[in-house]
């Protein structure tokens, strides 16, 4: 066994032990326990990411920014959000003449139109317009990619997306789940609670499982807050926030 990892077989046994489900192969078969645990793990990844913990985020390879509006007359361009992505958590751009990437600010949907009547000095903000959508079985179309709105419309450069990738279920005996103990424990108790749909009389057990899950959730949130509370190591000139830094520095320096 690798340090810090637990196999699907070990997790299934742990769930059966806590739920007292050993031998209950009709109501709680191993395949169902594994499916429910994977659903719980997917929920955990989204919960952690929403707390500004980047433990599960991926970064895309650099790609050219679009230089035309999504629709003629609109104030924004669009880039694709891959079909295996749950949500975009950040967009970084490298503009022509610049030597470093800078982040775009996330804004609300309606605020995209605030950039229709201003001088375009390059993209400043983004908004996730939609996520990838599914499709009916054949002969229906394939899945449709999502979209991320970027404004104002870029005039060049490249971008990178920081995103949460959708969880691909791991159900084989030797499949491994890694991470902090509180993550695995949260998913274990969450799975036990899901299993109560077939055992609705376990009210006392629900109280125990819900209390344990709540403690673990508090630990996960506290950890994310601690990681997110770091202070800057040096003063930062904030005049260029959301703008091309050289535009401001060229005026003053």
pLDDT tens for 7-23 read 999 999 999 999 988 77
Query: How many structural domains is the chain composed of?
Result: 2
* pLDDT at residue 235 in the model: 61
Residues 146 and 179 in one domain: no
Whether the Cβ atoms of residue 96 and residue 88 lie closer than 8 Å to each other: no
SS3 label, residue 69: coil
Q: Is the pLDDT of residue 46 over 90?
A: yes
Most confident of the ranges 124-138, 179-193, 218-232, 236-250: 179-193
Q: Are strands 102-103 and 85-94 parallel, antiparallel or unpaired?
A: antiparallel
Inside any domain, residue 177: yes
Q: Is the pLDDT of residue 252 over 50?
A: no
Query: What's the whole-number average pLDDT of the chain?
Result: 86
Structural domain including 47 reads 5-54+169-227
Residues 191 and 147 in one domain: no
Stated pTM of the model: 0.83
């Amino acid at each position: 066994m690798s340090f810090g990892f637990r196999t699907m077989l070990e997790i299934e046994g742990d769930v059966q032990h806590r739920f007292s489900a050993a031998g209950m192969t009709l109501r709680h078969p191993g395949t169902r326990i594994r499916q429910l645990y994977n659903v719980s793990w997917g929920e955990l990844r989204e919960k952690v990411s929403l707390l500004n913990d980047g433990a599960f985020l991926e970064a895309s390879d650099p790609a050219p920014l679009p230089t035309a509006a999504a629709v003629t007359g609109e104030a924004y361009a669009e880039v694709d959000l891959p079909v295996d992505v749950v949500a975009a958590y950040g967009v970084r751009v490298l503009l022509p003449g610049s030597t470093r990437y800078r982040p775009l600010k996330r804004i609300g949907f309606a605020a995209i139109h605030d950039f229709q009547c201003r001088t375009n000095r390059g993209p400043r903000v983004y908004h996730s317009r939609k996520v990838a959508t599914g499709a009916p079985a054949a002969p229906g179309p394939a899945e449709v990619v999502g979209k991320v709105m970027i404004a104002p419309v870029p005039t060049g450069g490249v971008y990178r997306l920081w995103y949460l990738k959708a969880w691909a279920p791991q159900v084989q005996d030797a499949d491994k789940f890694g991470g902090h103990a509180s993550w695995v424990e949260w998913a274990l108790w969450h799975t036990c609670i899901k299993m109560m749909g077939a055992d609705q009389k376990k009210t006392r057990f629900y109280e125990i499982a819900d209390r344990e899950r709540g403690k673990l959730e508090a630990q996960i949130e506290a950890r994310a807050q601690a990681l997110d509370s770091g202070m800057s190591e040096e003063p930062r000139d904030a005049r260029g926030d959301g703008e091309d830094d050289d535009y401001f520095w060229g005026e003053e320096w």
